[in-house]
A = this chain, B = another copy of it.
Amino acid sequence: MARREQLAQARQTITIIGGTGALGFGLALRWALAGVPVVIGSRSEDRAEEAATRLRERAREAGNGNAEIAAAENEEAAKRASTVVLAVPFRAQSENLNNLRYALQPGTVLIDATVPLAAALGGRATRTVGIWQGSAAQQAEEMAPRGVTVVSALHTVSANLLADPAKEIAEDVLIAGDDRKAKEQAAELIARIPGLRPVDCGELEVARIIEQLTALLISINKRHKIKHSGIRITGLPTEPAGS
């Protein structure tokens, strides 16, 4: 394969760090069904393989027997794609970024989906904790190796909704980042999942607001006894999500 093709291939592949967790698994399933090759990363290669096997079964059940789903230990997985999604609990974010500091390649777009719920410290899931840098995404930006660009996204779409392909999604994914091209790369991949509309919300610092929305939606779910609330933005020139 020519270097150019390798790059094109790498560009469209997505690695999901935390791919065995609820959000990572749901995203992997939807992307795999949409024809995007995914690499499941986990601290343990065995657990990554196990999740990949389950994903292949789920994809086959949903009518896509050709889904490209690979598995690897996190550091190896991070090297295999130019888009890496960090979908780990807040309490594991720093440790993961630390472990990935030699694995993430320059030019990688790192999509940080971390939500600093107070639940990470034994508090409520309707509350968040303050982060010195302003947001989990800005913490990722500080910890990511030089040449890696952080985009904040995918905080509000429900893991359970993603994991059930029979359920229709029609909501927005709010994106923040300082690099337009990186945001476009993330947006294109997010838009591959039917029913999700990426919405660029501005600079990375706005992540401190977006990350709070998960706690807000959890509070709404609790108040209304529902499972999956989501966010939509009105007034945009693009077609609404799910239309």
Q: Which residues of A contact B (CB under 8 A)?
A: 126-127, 170-171, 174, 199-203, 205-206, 208-210, 212-213, 215-217, 219-220, 222-224, 226-237
- Min C-beta distance of A43 to chain B, whole Å: 32
B contact residues around A205 at 8 Å (CB): 127
Q: Is the CB of A201 within 8 A of B226?
A: no
Q: Give complex CA distance A235, B231 in Å.
A: 9
Q: Is the CB of A220 within 8 A of B199?
A: yes
Q: Give complex CA distance A217, B234 in Å.
A: 10
B contact residues around A171 at 8 Å (CB): 234
Q: Give complex CA distance A229, B237 in Å.
A: 10
Known: A200-B223, A220-B199. A126 touches B206 (CB 8 A): yes
B contact residues around A208 at 8 Å (CB): 212
| Interface contacts beyond A126-B203, A224-B237, A232-B232: sample of 14 additional A-B pairs, CB < 8 Å, sorted by A | A200-B220, A202-B219, A202-B220, A206-B215, A208-B212, A210-B216, A212-B212, A226-B236, A227-B235, A229-B233, A230-B233, A231-B231, A231-B232, A232-B233
